């Protein structure tokens, strides 16, 4: 197959790229080679373990498929977070404490990607066993933010967000237990979604807290995110009209940096200008969500962390989190019971708010991307919002059991995200609303 020499595949979004491959305007092999060259030249350390021969073999197979003209992701390079099983590859989860055994089978989401014609390109860097919000705890070195390389890309799916933002791939698959897709999407200026619980299968993915874990898309546009989610979920319902949105007061107040609030206000005003009614609603326990989340996820991790700790190769953050969980257990059941009560109240409060409005909105996180450790200035060290509380708003959606999407807000300077939360099953509504910003 000959390709149009004037076409640069790395500049196309996923929909346009798949269309070009389906039409024969460019071959999947040429698409793969162009993106491999981008990865080889990249200095953000977003994608690990790239096997060019394996990538080209996948692309060659796509070009040879008789159904190529019907593949939704024909020839589109996709990177997956390193806690998702890919047959024949070791799932390291950003750790040296893994068992070293290659996965025997693809995770269902990988099977769906292959069936849709995607070309898997490497593994995305991540915080070790998803414990972190910066991608600095990876045993393979930190990932840098393409918006400012001295800053964090967020985490734990920071490699996914950085890879998409840097143009290494148009799409990535991450995981989100408390914000690990949406928070890096916000920091890197891309789109990221934690889908409705159970919408995307999590089999073959290293669990953190199975009741809270989500597998979802990252992309440069909401339309591309919708395309990928449709594949991962095995189909999406058609969106319903969104006529009324609620700004969550507890997540949209002075705990956010002024520049974050400015960007979010511009974004929400754009929605209002488009004809959507914007009102204020309350989720009273929102400020308690992070503490409850840390308690629940840390204790739950004790169920699966044992072999990682026993290896003697687990990193400092993993050991610290295990010690914290052990201390909670020693304190007795009261703390965990409190956290479960907060979770129940959040579920009820979010459900009540979503009976008043179609979608809830807030900033995705209260700050912009913090500097990487070792690159923090004295002024930034004195800023309380530079502390690692980047997940304090995103955890609300996981605890409440609702889908949530982060989209770029019109920021001046570093990227800012706006978060949308909807009723379970209303994933398509959020994605359809996002382009109206």
| Helices 52-64 + 28-41 axis angle, to 10 | 160
In a domain, 256, yes or no: yes
264 and 377 together in one domain:
yes
Catalytic position from the list 3, 95, 157, 180: 180
CA 69 to centroid of chain Cα atoms: 29
pLDDT one digit per residue (tens) for the chain, 437 residues: 556 667 899 999 999 999 999 999 999 999 999 999 999 999 999 999 899 999 999 999 999 999 999 999 999 999 999 999 999 999 999 999 999 999 999 999 999 999 999 999 999 999 999 998 999 999 999 999 999 999 999 999 999 999 999 999 999 999 999 999 999 999 999 999 999 999 999 999 999 999 999 999 999 999 999 999 999 999 999 999 999 999 999 999 999 999 999 999 999 999 999 999 999 999 999 999 999 999 999 999 998 998 999 999 999 888 988 898 899 888 888 999 999 999 999 999 999 999 999 999 999 999 999 998 765 454 443 443 344 478 999 999 999 999 999 999 999 999 999 999 999 999 999 999 987 44
Active-site residue, 81 included: yes
Same domain, 207 and 347: no
What's the rounded Cα separation, in Å, for the pair 131 and 80? 17
Q: How many helices (H) and strands (E) does the chain have?
A: 15, 11
71 touches 18 (CB < 8 A): yes
Task: Clarify whether 327 is annotated catalytic.
Answer: no
CATH of the domain at 88: 3.90.1300.10
User: Do 437 and 270 meet the contact criterion of CB atoms below 8 Å apart?
Assistant: yes
Same structural domain for residues 176 and 259?
A: no
pTM of the predicted structure, to 2 decimals: 0.95
- Please indicate, yes or no, whether residues 60 and 204 belong to a single structural domain of this protein: yes
Indicate whether 185 and 206 sit together in one domain.
yes
Are residues 71 and 114 both part of a single domain? yes
CA–CA separation, 403 and 422 (whole Å): 6
Assign 322 to helix, strand or coil.
helix
Structure tokens, 62: 């796509």
Q: Which residues contact 358 (CB under 8 A, 6 or more apart)?
A: 240, 241, 242, 243, 244, 245, 422, 426, 429
268, 174: one domain: no
Given 81, 95, 157, 186, the catalytic residue: 81
Structural domain range at position 54 = 11-233
- C-alpha to C-alpha distance for 21 and 278, rounded to whole angstroms: 41
What distances in angstroms separate CA 132 from CA 107, 138, 152, 316, 347, one per listed residue? 23, 9, 11, 11, 24
Considering the domain boundaries, does residue 285 fall inside one?
yes
Q: Give catalytic status of residue 156 as yes or no.
A: yes
Query: Residue 248's closest CA among 206, 286, 210?
Result: 286
Q: Are residues 106 and 19 in the same domain?
A: yes
pLDDT at 389: 73
> How far apart (Å, rounded) are the C-alpha atoms in residues 298 and 315?
15
Give dist(CA 89, CA 107) in Å, integer: 12
- The reply to whether 329 falls in a domain is no
Active-site position among 27, 156, 196, 268: 156
Alpha helices (runs of H) in 102-168, residue ranges in sequence order:
108-115, 158-165
List, in order, residues 6 or more apart from 335 with CB less than 8 Å away: 295, 328
- Considering the domain architecture, whether residues 74 and 145 belong to the same structural domain is answered as yes
Q: Whole-angstrom Cα distance, residue 16 to residue 238?
A: 21
């Amino acid at each position: 197959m000959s390709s149009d020499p004037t076409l640069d595949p790395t500049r196309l979004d996923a929909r346009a790229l798949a269309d070009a491959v389906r039409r024969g305007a460019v071959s999947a092999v040429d698409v793969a080679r162009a993106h491999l060259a981008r990865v080889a030249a990249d200095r953000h350390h977003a994608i690990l373990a790239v096997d060019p021969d394996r990538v080209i073999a996948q692309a060659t197979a796509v070009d040879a498929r008789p159904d190529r003209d019907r593949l939704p992701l024909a020839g589109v390079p996709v990177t997956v977070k390193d806690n998702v099983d890919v047959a024949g590859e070791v799932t390291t989860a950003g750790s040296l404490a893994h068992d070293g055994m290659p996965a025997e089978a693809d995770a269902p989401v990988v099977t769906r990607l292959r069936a849709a014609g995607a070309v898997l390109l490497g593994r995305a860097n991540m915080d070790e066993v998803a414990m972190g919000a910066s991608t600095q705890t990876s045993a393979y070195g930190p990932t840098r933010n393409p918006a400012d390389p001295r800053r964090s890309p967020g985490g734990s799916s920071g490699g996914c967000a950085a890879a998409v933002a840097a143009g290494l791939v148009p799409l990535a698959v991450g995981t989100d237990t408390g914000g690990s897709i949406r928070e890096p999407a916000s920091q890197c200026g891309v789109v990221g979604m934690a889908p409705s619980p159970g919408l995307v299968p999590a089999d073959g993915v290293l669990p953190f807290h199975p009741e809270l874990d989500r597998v979802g898309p990252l992309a440069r546009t909401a339309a591309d995110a919708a395309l990928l989610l449709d594949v991962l979920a095995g189909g999406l319902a058609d969106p319903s009209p969104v006529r009324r949105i609620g700004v969550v007061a507890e997540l949209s107040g002075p705990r956010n940096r002024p520049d974050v609030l400015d960007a979010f206000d511009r974004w929400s005003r754009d929605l209002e200008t488009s004809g959507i009614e914007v009102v204020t609603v309350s989720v009273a326990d929102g400020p308690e969500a992070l503490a409850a989340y840390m308690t629940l996820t840390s204790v739950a991790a004790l169920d699966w962390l044992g072999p990682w700790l026993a290896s003697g190769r687990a990193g400092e953050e993993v050991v610290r989190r295990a010690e914290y969980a052990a201390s909670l257990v020693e304190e007795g059941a009261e703390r965990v019971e409190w956290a479960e009560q907060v979770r129940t109240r959040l579920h009820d409060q979010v459900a009540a708010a979503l009976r008043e409005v179609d979608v809830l909105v807030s900033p995705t996180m209260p700050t912009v991307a913090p500097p990487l450790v070792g690159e923090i200035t004295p002024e930034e060290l004195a800023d309380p919002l530079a502390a690692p509380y980047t997940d304090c708003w995103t955890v609300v959606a996981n605890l409440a059991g609702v889908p949530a999407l982060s989209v770029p807000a019109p920021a001046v300077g570093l990227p800012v995200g706006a978060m949308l939360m909807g009723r379970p099953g209303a994933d398509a509504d959020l994605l359809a609303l996002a382009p109206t910003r």
